[in-house]
Amino acid sequence: MAQPAVTSPSGATPDTVSVVDDRLAQVSLVTKLLRRPELGALIGALAVGLFFAVTADSFRTLAGVANWTDVASTLGIMAVVVALLMIGGEFDLSAGAMTGTSGLLLGLLSTEWGFSMWPAILVTFAFAVCIGLFNGFMVMKTRLPSFIVTLATFFILQGVNLGFTKAITDTVRVAGLTDVTGFESAATIFASTFWEPYNFRISVIWWIGITIVATWVLSRSRFGNWIFAVGGDANAARNVGVPVQKVKITLFVITSTSAALVGTMIALRLGSIQAGQGIGEEFTYIIAAVVGGCLLTGGYGSAIGAALGALIVGMAFIGIQFSGWNTDWRFLFLGVILLMAVLVNNLVRKSAEGARR
C-alpha cells in the first residue's frame, strides 16, 4: 500500500488531469480497506461474536443481544470520545472515575440538596465541563503528559467520590433517585428500554448516535481535521494556524461531559449509584479505542473502530458469563486482545509513516 502517490516533476502536461482521474479509480479496494483503522476491530468483532455464538446458545438470542449491547453501549460511548481524545494525542485516565463522580453528584443534588431531576442534570453537566476544562488547562499549561495529570485527577475524584458519599450518606452509595420530581421524564431519555420483550437499552441508541456524530466530525468537519493534526504533529499543526490548545481542551471537555452522560444513565437506570462506580473502566475505554485502531501516540484512529472495540468487550463480558465460565477470565481476554491490537496497529503505523525520504 506504499506505492508512491506522486511522480517526480517532468513538465506537467495539460492532460494530466484526465490521466490522473483515471488513476484515482485504480487505488485498489484492498488498499482502501487496509487504510481503514477499524478493519482489525471489525474482523475481531465478527470472530468474537461467532465464537460466543457457538459456545453459548443464549448469546445468539435477541434477549442475549440486548444484554451484550447494553454492556457495550455505556462502554462504547466513552470509548468513542476517548478515541477522539487519543487521536488528538492525549489520554484521560479520570474518565472512568468521572462517570461515578457525576452519577454521585446527580444523586446527591437530587436526593440530599433538594434539586429536582432536570436542574440536577444540568448542574452535573456543568460540573463535568469544569472538570474537563481543568484537565485540559492543566495539561496545556504545565506541558506535562496528560497521562500523569489525569492520573492525579483520577485519584482525586476517586477519593472525593468515597469521602463525600460516606460523609453525607453514611454509606457507599446514593439511593432514592426514583422519588425525585422529574425522574420519569429524565429516565425516559437516559435510562429506558425499548423493543419488548427483549428490552434493549436506550443507551444503545445514544451509543450509535454518538458514534455516527463522532465519525462525521472526524471525517468531514474542520474540527475533525484539526484533531488528527494536533495528535499527529502539534508543531506542524501550529505552524499552519491550527489552534492546538483550543482543540485539545475541547476534547478533554467532550470526554468529561460524556462521562457525565454515562454517569447520569447509570444513576437513573438503577435509581442509585455506588461510590466505586466507573473505577477501573478508564482502561477498558482505552483498550476499546486501541482495539478500534487508535495509536497510543496519537494522530490516527477511528470512532467506528472504538465503537466496535467496545462491542468486542461487551460481547466477551456477556459471552464468558453465558458460556458458564468464571467471569475473571474476561481480564485475560482484555489483555490478549489489547496486545494483539497494539501489535497490528504498530504494523499499520509503520506502513503509513514508512518510506520517509
Partner 1 sequence: MSARPGAVPASGTATNGAPPLLEVRHISKYFGNVIALKDVSCLVGAGQVTCVLGDNGAGKSTFIKILSGVHQHSEGEFLVEGEPVRFNSPRDARGRGIATVFQDLATVPLMSLWRNFFLGSEPTVGKGPLRRIDVKAARRIMHDEMAKMGIDVRDPDQPVGTLSGGERQAVSIARAVYFGAKVLILDEPTSALGVKQSGVVLKYIVQARERGLGVIFITHNPHHAYPVGDRFVVLNRGRLMGNWARNEISRDELVQTMAGGAELDQLTHELERQLGRDHVAS
Residue 240 contacts residue 130 (beta carbons within 8 Å): no
| Calpha distance 209→314 (Å, rounded) | 18
Residue keyed to cell 485504480:
26
Does residue 347 interact with partner 1 by CB under 8 A?
no
**Nearest Cα to Cα of residue 125 among 222, 321, 257, 284:** 257
Judged by CB under 8 A, the residue of 49, 232, 263, 293 near partner 1 is 232
Residue 93 contacts residue 136 (beta carbons within 8 Å): no
Judged by CB under 8 A, the residue of 143, 197, 241, 326 near partner 1 is 241
Closer residue to partner 1 in complex, CB, 17/167: 17
Does residue 356 interact with partner 1 by CB under 8 A?
yes
Sign of CA dihedral 310, 277, 149, 335: negative
In the stretch 12-51, what mask flags binding to partner 1 with x, by CB under 8 A?
Answer: x---xx-xx--xx-xx----x--x----------------
Does residue 349 interact with partner 1 by CB under 8 A?
yes
Closer residue to partner 1 in complex, CB, 301/314: 301
In the stretch 278-297, what mask flags binding to partner 1 with x, by CB under 8 A?
Answer: -----------------x--
Does residue 346 interact with partner 1 by CB under 8 A?
no
Tell me, by CB under 8 A, how many residues bind partner 1.
48
| Calpha distance 155→94 (Å, rounded) | 8
Long-range Cβ contacts of 136-143 (<8 Å, 24+ apart): 136/248, 136/249, 136/250, 136/251, 136/252, 136/253, 137/249, 139/90, 139/248, 139/252, 140/245, 140/248, 140/249
Judged by CB under 8 A, the residue of 18, 196, 197, 235 near partner 1 is 235
Give kind and range of the element (H or E) at residue 64: helix 62-87
| Calpha distance 132→121 (Å, rounded) | 17
Taking CB under 8 A as the binding criterion, the range among 6-14, 45-53, 174-182, 323-331 that sits at the site for partner 1 is 6-14
Taking CB under 8 A as the binding criterion, the range among 121-129, 285-293, 339-347, 348-356 that sits at the site for partner 1 is 348-356
Residue keyed to cell 473502530:
305
Residue 298 contacts residue 232 (beta carbons within 8 Å): yes
Judged by CB under 8 A, the residue of 239, 324, 326, 328 near partner 1 is 239
Least distance to partner 1, CB of residue 344, Å: 16
Judged by CB under 8 A, the residue of 116, 151, 173, 233 near partner 1 is 233
List, in order, residues 6 or more apart from 190 with CB less than 8 Å away: 202, 203, 261, 264, 265, 268, 269
Judged by CB under 8 A, the residue of 85, 229, 260, 294 near partner 1 is 229
In the stretch 136-155, what mask flags binding to partner 1 with x, by CB under 8 A?
Answer: --------------------
Does residue 324 interact with partner 1 by CB under 8 A?
no
Q: Cis link prior to 197 (omega < 30° from 0)? A: yes
Does residue 11 interact with partner 1 by CB under 8 A?
yes
Backbone angles phi, psi at 278, to 5 degrees: 85, -15
The site for partner 1 (CB under 8 A) is made up of: 2, 4-12, 16-17, 19-20, 23-24, 26-27, 32, 35, 216, 220-222, 225-226, 228-229, 232-233, 235-237, 239-242, 295, 299-300, 349, 351-357
